[in-house]
Amino acid sequence: MARSRRMELLARLPPTWRARFLQLGFNWHPAFRATGGRVHKVSANLQHIVVRLPLRRRTRNINGSLFGGSLFAITDGVHATMLLAGLQRAVIVWDKNAEIQYRRPGYQTLYASFDIHPEELDAIRGQLDQNHEAEATFTVQIQDPEGQIYTTVERTIYIADAHFYQQKSQSR
C-alpha cells in the first residue's frame, strides 16, 4: 500500500482510532521495535506523541546506561509521520539532517515528547504553496519523568509536494 494511501486510511478513521492506529503502527513496525522504544501516548489530533525508552538488557550499553543509538533511534520518523498526517495533502517527507547532543548517561526509563503546533503546519503549508518544497527543524529533548534532560536531538525534515517531487526526481 502506498504511503499516501496509508495516510488516507488514517484520515478516514475516527480521531480516537487514528491515535491508537498510529501508536500500534509504530510499536509493531520492525525498525521502530528494534530501537527498544515504545510509543507511549498519541494525541487525538496526532500533533503530540510521547515515546518511552526503558532501560533494559537490549537498550543498555557496556557501561550500564541507555545505549546512545537507541536514544537517537527513537526520534527517527516521528516528526515525519506527524507531518504526513498533519499537512493533509500528498507530500513526500524525508529526514535531511539530524544531530544529537548527549548531556548525561541515562540509568532509568526516559521519555521523548514530540510536538507540532498548528502554526508550524500553517507555515509549512505556506512554503509548499509558494515553493512546492520546505524544510523544518524540530528539537526533541529526551528526559526523565522529573524533567531532567539527558539528550537533545535536532532533526531537519525535507517536505515537498508529491507531484513536484516526482517531477524533480525524473529531471535528474
What is the number of domains present in the chain?
Answer: 1
Could you report the per-residue pLDDT of 135-156, keeping only the tens digit for each?
Answer: 999 999 999 999 999 999 999 9
Average of pLDDT values for 15-27? Answer: 88
- At 1, the pLDDT band (50, 70, 90 cuts) reads very low
What is the extent of the structural domain holding 68?
3-170
Could you report the per-residue pLDDT of 51-79, keeping only the tens digit for each?
Answer: 999 999 999 999 999 999 999 999 999 99
Judged against a pLDDT cut of 60, whether residue 3 lies above it is answered with no
- At 2, the pLDDT band (50, 70, 90 cuts) reads very low
Judged against a pLDDT cut of 70, whether residue 6 lies above it is answered with no
Judged against a pLDDT cut of 70, whether residue 4 lies above it is answered with no
CATH of the domain at 17: 3.10.129.10
Residue pair 98/156 in contact by the 8 Å Cβ criterion: yes
Helical H segments across 37-114, by residue range: 68-73, 78-87
Percent residues over pLDDT 90 in the chain: 79
* Grid cell of 42 as nine digits: 498519541
Helical H segments across the chain, by residue range: 3-12, 15-28, 30-33, 68-73, 78-87, 118-131, 162-170
